[in-house]
Amino acid sequence: MTLKGTKVYGSVLQKCPKCHEGDLFTTNNPYNFSKLFDMPEKCPECGQKFLLEPGFYYGSMYVSYGISIAYLVSVYVAMTVLYPSFNVTEYLVLGVGSLFVLTPYFFKLSRAVWINMFVAYDKKASAEHKTGKAASGDHSLKN
Ligand SMILES: [Zn+2]
């Protein structure tokens, strides 16, 4: 089974939403803080623009918020199952502490999820770009 072509694949692996080949970020290491915000202007594989409009990624903050809440709920559920006698302090230390450590990853993930909400996967995008058939700078905004 392959997940290529799904929103999950493009988001989790932080690939170009259109071709799922090119990397969305300059570095895949979320703890390389000097390059945390660095994204190529366009996908090197298919030419998809990564900044659809000025300030495009402000909206990803809502995704980031949702991911953080979902994560904290997951930690709570996991602790309830694995360690039912936990107290509030232990939950806060483990939940918020690990969330803090994961924040750079969630930051990139939320950007990847966000652009995947607007750009549809096109399995021919990479090949068409390489043969020069696709119009340059074309980005397929849904809706
Ligand atoms: Zn691409």
pLDDT at site 134: 47
* Within a domain: 141: no
Distance between Cα 142 and ligand 1 center (Å): 16
* Within a domain: 139: no
With beta carbons less than 8 A apart as the criterion, state whether 30 and 104 touch. yes
pLDDT at site 143: 47
* Within a domain: 143: no
In the chain, the number of structural domains is 1
* Within a domain: 46: yes
pLDDT at site 4: 85
Instruction: Band the pLDDT of 55: cuts 50, 70, 90.
Output: very high
Average pLDDT (67-86) is: 96
The average confidence (pLDDT) of the chain is 90
Distance between Cα 139 and ligand 1 center (Å): 10
Distance between Cα 47 and ligand 1 center (Å): 6
* Within a domain: 136: no
Instruction: Band the pLDDT of 130: cuts 50, 70, 90.
Output: confident
* Within a domain: 137: no
* Within a domain: 1: no
**What length is written for the chain?**
143
Q: Is 54 a residue whose pLDDT tops 80?
A: yes
* pTM of this structure: 0.84
Distance between Cα 106 and ligand 1 center (Å): 21
Average pLDDT (107-136) is: 87
With beta carbons less than 8 A apart as the criterion, state whether 45 and 126 touch. yes
Distance between Cα 6 and ligand 1 center (Å): 14
Task: Check residue 135 and report its DSSP letter.
Answer: P
pLDDT at site 131: 85
Distance between Cα 44 and ligand 1 center (Å): 7
Determine the structural domain holding residue 107 and report its residue range. 7-131
* Within a domain: 126: yes
Distance between Cα 108 and ligand 1 center (Å): 17
pLDDT at site 138: 52
With beta carbons less than 8 A apart as the criterion, state whether 113 and 22 touch. no
- pLDDT tens-digit map of 1-35: 678 888 888 899 999 999 999 999 998 888 998 89
Distance between Cα 136 and ligand 1 center (Å): 12
d(CA 43, CA 125): 11
